[in-house]
Amino acid sequence: MDRQSGKIVFITGGNRGLGFETAKRLGSLGMTLLIGSRKLSNGQLAVNQLQALGYNAETIHYDAHEPRLIDAVCKHIDDKYGKLDVLVNNAGILLEQVMGKNSSSSVSPAVLEKTFQVNVFAIVALTQKLLPLIKKSDAGRIVNLSSILGSHTLHSMKNSLIEPAKAFAYNASKSALNAYTIHLAHELRNTSVKVNSAHPGWVKTELGGPDAPMEIVDSYKTCTRLATLDSKGPTGGFFHEEDTLPW
């Protein structure tokens, strides 16, 4: 894993949950960690923990609800590092009940707008702005935190594990994010940049809730794998750990 040493990674929402676990694992591989946080004080607490482990880390003010911050994020990374090796689009929101209720006929325009702003529009805007810096890397990697709940194939299958989980705004936002992964990977197919969607699992985070089967400490695996792919690794795919998921 020495090939990861010295690489620069920006993780949105990296101050807690699976973003923080991913940061710890990538830090252990020698990457410099840029932790995007809505509140700088929360980001600094995470950075303090990462530095105590011996990792290079700093926090950057990033809020997916505030598109105006994107220019400042890009300028800071460009001025200080001149490139970006890995972008982990981890920040996301869930505003609906997931299991046992179909929200398709009742979800409000406000919930749809807020969900898509964070889970899709902000990711596209941030990625587009940072892409010139990612292209300066010898092996740029973009990891989009999706969800198995974005799979049209599994949602349309009778008796699939996710059939009861019909939170329309959230699910549709992850489907849209998957579409962005496919399209961006196609555009960048002749470059050294790889773009993939990650389903980390159902994790006991604030978003996943206490009934989730996966502990936070195990949530880093898919993101870490996709962030550290070698030149023969896949692009334009949808993965959970080593498994390929259906769109």
Give the residues across from 200 on adjacent strands.
none
Task: For the beta carbon of residue 82, count every other beta carbon within 10 angstroms.
Answer: 10
| DSSP class per residue in 45-100 | HHHHHHHHTT--EEEEE--TT-TTHHHHHHHHHHHHTS--SEEEE------S--BT
User: Nearest-CA neighbor of 85 among 36, 46, 33?
Assistant: 33
Cβ proximity of 116 and 92 under 8 Å: no
Sign of CA dihedral 229, 217, 145, 101: positive
Q: Which is the catalytic residue, given 55, 62, 81, 170?
A: 170
| DSSP class per residue in 34-48 | EEEESSHHHHHHHHH
Phi then psi dihedrals of residue 229, to 5 deg? -60, 140
Active site (annotated) includes residue 81: no
Distance of CA 75 to the CA centre of its chain: 21
Place of tokens 């498994």: 243
Structure-token pair, residue 135: 């292209």
Q: Catalytic amino acids?
A: 170
